[in-house]
Amino acid sequence: MRNKTLILFISLLLIPGCFAWPEPTGAALEEWVEIDLLGYWGRLFNRSSELDMAFPGEFGKYDIGHIIDKEIKTAWVEGVKGDGIGEYIFIATPEETRTINLYSGYGQNLSLFHKNNRPREIGLSYFLGVEDAFEGQYSSHYKAVKYEDEYIITLKDSIALQHFDFPFRDMKKLTAFKKRCLEDFKNAGYRKDMPAPPEPPQVKWILKIEILAVYKGSKWEDTCISEIFFNDRYIGNSHDYKNTEIKKVYESKDYDQIIMVTGKHGPVTLCKADNEDTGLSISEISKDNQWLIILSETWNPNLSRTETEYLVFNTFFGKDMKTELEKVIGKEICGPFFLKYKYDLPSYEDDELYMEFEYSDGSGSGKIELK
């Protein structure tokens, strides 16, 4: 009985808190709450509940970690009775957040997608979180203040990637709010068992995503979300893959085509030059032959290069990905494009792949993780 009580106590500690603590007399101006965030794979997040929750430190079948595992065939599933209205996710956002992208529902297959609930409306609220010096074994602790604006997003009932402009983008208001909160933070008080935070304090913007309404499942009431990411990552819909085994990718003899050899269909033209004055060449290719940077070079009659365009292709989809990546990134991009690995070890199959690029508006360079 004592062991069961201990397990329950630890599990409850990992459920994100929104508990306000008393305001010191005549000091704090903001309403501070406490939020705990789990950390997997360089991302910070938590949830209000979870179906069949595993023991802390273990990864469950419907774990909240599935929203950031780069795989749409897994999902977070809320764990309360009924449709999960009011259940929520906390997730820390990138430093500059322009878009929110997600796969709604259980993405393993179309049958499970329709048998389970899918969010129809989600509420978005934003918190400025200041990290305490205290850090648990499985989570980081934040004191946070809720930003004044809130938004509601309506989702399509589709097993497809959905893009939305990030609504919290008034930088003047956000900056003023952050400054006000940090000035107030020293007066907000600490839990008696907490040491003082470091100087300067570590700050995170934390997005709360709340289930407000659902598309009803045909068999179960569990509400599911497969993946959530922002403008720093792209996760493709594996259900739309036309090719899953790419053996080779190469330029044609006349450099007017890029050809790939697939496991099922043999040689297939991936990209073809627009005219006879344009040549195509492979600049970079990922370890698994999925992502490809192509140079499209147009030549004048004197054989001097006049224009170079950078193209980014995904061989699994068999198409140019620039437009779709721009929807995720939230801005137009241009070359040069480069593929880079986080560790760049040939034998490390799970290495993180990034594409580096320039913004078309001249605002500098950026990068996005590709899956």
Inform me whether the pLDDT recorded for 230 exceeds 80: yes
Q: Which residue in the block uniquely carries the two structure tokens 């003023």?
A: 176
- The pTM is what? 0.87
What six digits make up the tokens of 273? Answer: 């030059």
Count of structural domains, the chain: 2
Helix locations, 241-315, DSSP H? none
**Partner residues linked to 205 by β-bridges:** 128
Inform me whether the pLDDT recorded for 34 exceeds 50: yes
The residue out of 210, 234, 258 marking a domain boundary is: 234
Residues 221, 313, single domain; the answer is no
Residues 224, 347, single domain; the answer is no
Contact between 164 and 100 (Cβ < 8 Å): yes
194-208 pLDDT, tens per residue? 555 566 778 999 999
Q: 3-class DSSP state for residue 227?
A: strand
| Residue 186 CB contacts under 8 Å (≥ 6 apart), including other chains | none
Residues 268, 146, single domain; the answer is no
Residues 22, 145, single domain; the answer is yes
Residues 262, 226, single domain; the answer is no
Q: Which residue in the block uniquely carries the two structure tokens 């107030």?
A: 184
Q: What is the pLDDT of residue 27?
A: 41
Residues 224, 257, single domain; the answer is no
Q: What is the pLDDT of residue 196?
A: 59
Residues 47, 155, single domain; the answer is yes
40-88 pLDDT, tens per residue? 888 999 999 999 987 776 778 999 999 999 999 999 999 999 999 999 9
Residues 171, 302, single domain; the answer is no
Range of the structural domain that residue 15 is part of: 2-234
What six digits make up the tokens of 324? Answer: 């779709």
Inform me whether the pLDDT recorded for 20 exceeds 60: no
The residue out of 234, 266, 293 marking a domain boundary is: 234
What six digits make up the tokens of 214? Answer: 């659902």
Pairing of strands 278-285, 266-272: unpaired
- Greater confidence (259 vs 245) lies with 259
Residues 228, 251, single domain; the answer is no
d(CA 86, CA 210): 6
Residues 46, 81, single domain; the answer is yes
What six digits make up the tokens of 357? Answer: 């690029």
The residue out of 217, 234, 251 marking a domain boundary is: 234
Contact between 327 and 351 (Cβ < 8 Å): no
136-181 pLDDT, tens per residue? 556 788 999 999 999 999 999 999 999 999 999 999 999 999 999 9
Taking residues 12-25, what's their average pLDDT?
A: 45
Residues 214, 268, single domain; the answer is no
Q: 3-class DSSP state for residue 262?
A: strand
What is the domain-level CATH number for residue 102? Answer: 2.60.120.260
Q: 3-class DSSP state for residue 78?
A: coil
320-351 pLDDT, tens per residue? 999 999 999 999 999 999 999 988 666 556 68
- Greater confidence (105 vs 13) lies with 105
Distances (CA, A) of 252 to 116, 165, 255, 264: 47, 40, 5, 20
Confidence of residue 19 (pLDDT cuts 50, 70, 90): very low
Residues 116, 163, single domain; the answer is yes
